[in-house]
Structure 1
Amino acid sequence: MGDVADATDMGILLLALMTLWLYLPGFIANTFAMMWGKWLPKTGYGPWPIDGGRVMKDGNRMLGDGKTWNGLIGGSLTAGLLCMLQVAIVGTTFDEASVFVSPLTGSEDAWFAIGGPYLTAYIMGSFLGFACLLGDMTGSFFKRRRGLKREGDVSSKAPLLDTLPFAIMVFLWGQLFLGPSLLASSNLLLPMAIIIVITPILHRSFNLIGYAIGWKDVPY
């Protein structure tokens, strides 16, 4: 636990940046899901809506066309690859307090520490990616209950439901399930709160980029 405490020995702004770095696979899993949701069907596979077209009692889809199995699985697994890349860049062990600290800091005895550092990173990154997309689906579920559609070319936006559920879910799962690694440190709670507040801006920026380069059909 000494490495975890030492790694968080910095100011709140740097801690927030470090938290964003550590949780990056979860924060941009939506972008990966967009890629899989848009590109895989071009090869003749999918899309496969998670709700299977099911309509709820309110007359609206459970999730809508925007949430697919190819996006969920592909986005989660690609997030694992990103975590491996992070570890390849910054290393597998803790050296000193830094924004770009190793995501594996403190994970030696964690449940996901399996088969060496890169497999550990892959499992952790995929876990964060899945948490992100599960949170995103939760937001979509409540959007559908409000009558906001995502079917075919029809897509409705709800700024808070489009952004906050995935961020909250990623941080919640990290704190609950990724101990004793650095990602579950209680010293990251305040930085997490700060990031959640600015997440709508970050998410909007990522989506505008995705829309501009053709990964998204809508800029939100």
Structure 2
Amino acid sequence: MLPAYIPSPVAAVFGGGKPIDGGKTLGDGRRILGDGKTYRGLLSGIFFGMVVGLLQMYYLSMNSMLFSVELPSFAGNGVNATVVIFALAFGSLFGDMFMSFFKRRLGLKRGAPLPVVDQLDFVFGAWLLTYIIAPGWFTANFTASIIIVLLVLTPVLHLSTNIIGYFIGVKNEPW
């Protein structure tokens, strides 16, 4: 999941610049995505998600165990590892953008909390795109127990990293 976990915080740190929605609004008068979703954030998030995934692949080439746990490969079931890594990285940012779109429709401003959704939107985006692109790999690696652990662990990690981001000045809110 690291290629899916890394893009959002990286996008927050390296983002800024031209917004993906170009400042456009829909018929409801609300922005499509908002100023927080930028091309620079998207590209830097995907890039660093890919780098982390490739570093994981390099580590796996030398050692398939970490803390006595066998690590899964990104390759297998007839799929290329870089395709899976890209799907996880891009899918996580797509999930975040998708929920930003709906938050704008609900009238929520940038940074307004939407509990549970804010903590898991990127996970569902990563899983959905990865499942679409590599269904065999996804089902082989994301068992029910892994999914449950990630659904419990991710909100804790998300809140922790957001609090850190808030204190170092890259986030306006600690959630």
TM-score bin (small chain): 0.7 to 0.9
Q: State, as a whole percentage, how many aligned pairs show the same letter.
A: 36
Distance change (3 Å), C-alpha of 1:92 and 1:171: farther
Q: Residue 76 in 1 paired to residue 76 in 2?
A: no
Q: Alignment length, in residue pairs?
A: 175
* 1:173-206 Cα deviation digits (max 9, x unpaired): 223322443x431761342134224432221112
TM-score normalised to structure 1 length: 0.69
* Letter paired with 1:209: I
Distance 1:193 1:175 in 2: 17
Q: 1:186/1:125 Cα in 2 relative to 1: closer, same or farther (>3 Å)? A: closer
Q: TM-score by structure 2 length?
A: 0.84
Q: Which one has more relative contact order, counting CA pairs under 8 Å at least 6 apart?
A: 1
AA at the equivalent of 1:175: Y
1:195 partnered with 2:150: yes
Aligned twin of 2:169: 214
After the TM superposition, which of the residue ranges 191-200 and 74-83 deviates more from structure 2? 191-200
In structure 2, the partner of 1:30 is 8
CA gap of 1:100–1:64, structure 2 versus 1, over 3 A, is farther
Is the contact between residue 95 and residue 123 of structure 2 (CA under 8 Å) also seen in structure 1?
A: yes
2:24 is aligned with 1:54: yes
Shift of 1:217: 2.9
Q: In structure 2, what residue type is equivalent to 1:133?
A: L
Match of 1:136 in 2: 96
1:57 and 1:197 mapped to 2: Cα distance?
A: 37
3-state SS of 1:185 partner: helix
8 Å contact kept, 1:79–1:125: yes
How large is the Cα RMSD of the aligned pairs?
2.6
CA distance in structure 2 between the partners assigned to 1:218 and 1:103 by the alignment: 36
Verify the 8 A CA contact 1:48 1:69 in the aligned structure 2.
Answer: yes
Match of residue 177, structure 1, among 109, 128, 133? 133
* Aligned pairs (5 A) from 1:111-190: 113=80, 120-121=81-82, 123-150=83-110, 155-181=111-137, 183-185=138-140, 188-190=143-145
